[in-house]
Amino acid sequence: MSINHTKLLSGRAQVVPYANLTADRYQFLALGQAEPNLGPGANNSILTISTNNTRVWSNSITLSSISVSGNITANGLISATGNVTGGNLRTSGLVSATGNITGNFILGNGSQLTGIITSVSNVVNGGSNLNIATANANVTISVSTVGNVAVFSPTGVKVSGTMSVSGNVNIANISIVNTTFTSTDSNGNLILFAGSGGIGIPAGNTSQRPVSPPIGVTRFNTITNSIETWDGAAWVTSGNSITPGTIVDQQITPDGVSNSYLLVQPSTAAGILVAINGVNQVPTLSYTVTGDTITFSQIPMSSDIIDIRFITYLTSISSLSNYSGNSVVNITPSGNIQFTTANNLFATMTDSSFNVNYPVSAAGNVTIGGLLTSPQQTKAANDPGTVGQICWDSNYIYVCTASNTWKRTGLTGGY
């Protein structure tokens, strides 16, 4: 006789002999009677059907899928050949599934999380968490209850603390706002840059200098073509400042016969101080100087002591500027001379030309020894212009006779 074995058999003693059971009349048996070989179950065990269709006690469950509306909590293995879906998943063992694992929180040490794609928005371990549920889709990392230690966004990564890297870091461009580089090495807090190419520093004209910078700020001045550093009171230009020279002292032992002697360097009569036996001599009256030769008006005696001190010296500079640095005469490395006024390059002089970028006015006459050259221009009758301006093209000469008023005369004839 066929018995519907899908119905629960447990809990009550028999009321109908087993031989009298029919397909629609069920026998309720005590669990020990229904499964005499089952034996007592352990704590936290459940009654399941084994692969040979017998009931067994088990502390783990393997199903084709697990889906609950609440939490899934286990002390052992949670295993399914399909999906595992629930609220919070908590287990001290493994969560194994060939399908998807879905939950609000998955709590565990994560030591064996492999090949799993989840829809979780938070991964938590103690006071640290990884959060991807932000409104702007950023990924935030909090460590030891300190929030937003690192924030990953589509535009970059922001780290609120110190980031230490033991290896190399390859970076394209770095954008830094109000940040100080600090070295903690043992070489006197030096910051070293390797390589043989060079380091680019900020560059700009004088009016673009930073306001109230800290001491040591360095930049390249495009007006003076030099590096300048703020010393706390003024911008100090390196390489183009005039350094005081050294006064040279020379003693001459006369031979009692000659009145001309060689100097250790060229000078002028007014550029040296001459004393004979401690008595100062008058320039041009007591002596004259031509190049590196001094000539006395009287022949010194061999017992005289002649002392000469050079009070002039030569120095080389490549730039002259006013105090504010906005007007400069600068000599370029190629030998050209640039004239800058109010931060504007007014003119450049080369070995063969003098190029002026702005109008030149002369109260007197202008005499030209060569040819007057100008690019051809065509003017309409009402084009902008200033009285006295002249230009030409291949057909006409144009003269501005009043403000924004031009007249022309044709070029005729030929060779």
Tell the residue number behind the tokens 């009287």, with chain if given.
298
The two structure tokens encoding residue 133: 């549920």
Q: Are 45 and 25 in contact (CB under 8 A)?
A: no
Output the pLDDT for position 34.
Answer: 59
Q: What is the DSSP string of 18-42?
A: GGG--TT------HHHH-TTT-PPP
**Separation of alpha carbons 141 and 306, rounded Å:** 84
On whether both 303 and 218 belong to a single domain, the answer is no
Output the pLDDT for position 6.
Answer: 44
Output the pLDDT for position 133.
Answer: 60
Residue 50 within a domain: yes
Structural domain for 225, as ranges: 206-237
236 Cβ contact list (under 8 Å, min separation 6):
228, 229, 230
Side chain identity at 237, as an amino acid letter? Answer: T
Output the pLDDT for position 12.
Answer: 43
Phi, psi of 20 (to 5 degrees): -90, 0
Residue 121 within a domain: yes
Residue 182 within a domain: no
Residue 34 within a domain: yes
Tell the residue number behind the tokens 């002999």, with chain if given.
17
Residue 193 within a domain: no
On whether both 72 and 154 belong to a single domain, the answer is yes
Q: Are 308 and 251 in contact (CB under 8 A)?
A: yes
Residue 405 within a domain: yes
Phi, psi of 406 (to 5 degrees): -120, 145
Q: What angle do CA 60, 66, 68 make, to 5 degrees?
A: 110
The torsion angle over the Cα atoms of residues 382, 385, 390 and 394, rounded to 10 degrees, is -50
Q: Is 207 helix (H, G, I), strand (E, B) or coil?
A: helix
Q: In a structure prediction context, what are the per-residue pLDDT tens digits for the chain, which is 415 residues long?
A: 344 444 444 444 445 555 555 555 444 555 555 566 666 666 666 666 666 666 777 766 666 666 777 777 776 667 766 677 766 666 766 777 666 676 666 655 555 555 555 555 667 766 777 777 666 778 888 887 777 778 888 777 777 777 777 777 777 777 766 666 666 666 666 777 778 888 888 999 888 999 888 888 999 988 877 888 998 888 887 654 555 566 789 999 999 999 999 999 888 998 899 999 999 999 999 999 999 999 999 999 999 999 999 986 656 677 788 777 788 898 888 889 999 988 889 999 999 888 999 888 888 888 888 888 888 999 999 999 999 899 999 999 999 999 999 999 999 877 6
Taking the complete model, does pTM exceed 0.75, yes or no?
no
Residue 171 within a domain: no
- Measured between alpha carbons, how far is residue 389 from residues 362, 365, 381, 410 in Å? 13, 16, 13, 17
Domain count within the chain: 5
**Separation of alpha carbons 331 and 339, rounded Å:** 9
Residue 178 within a domain: no
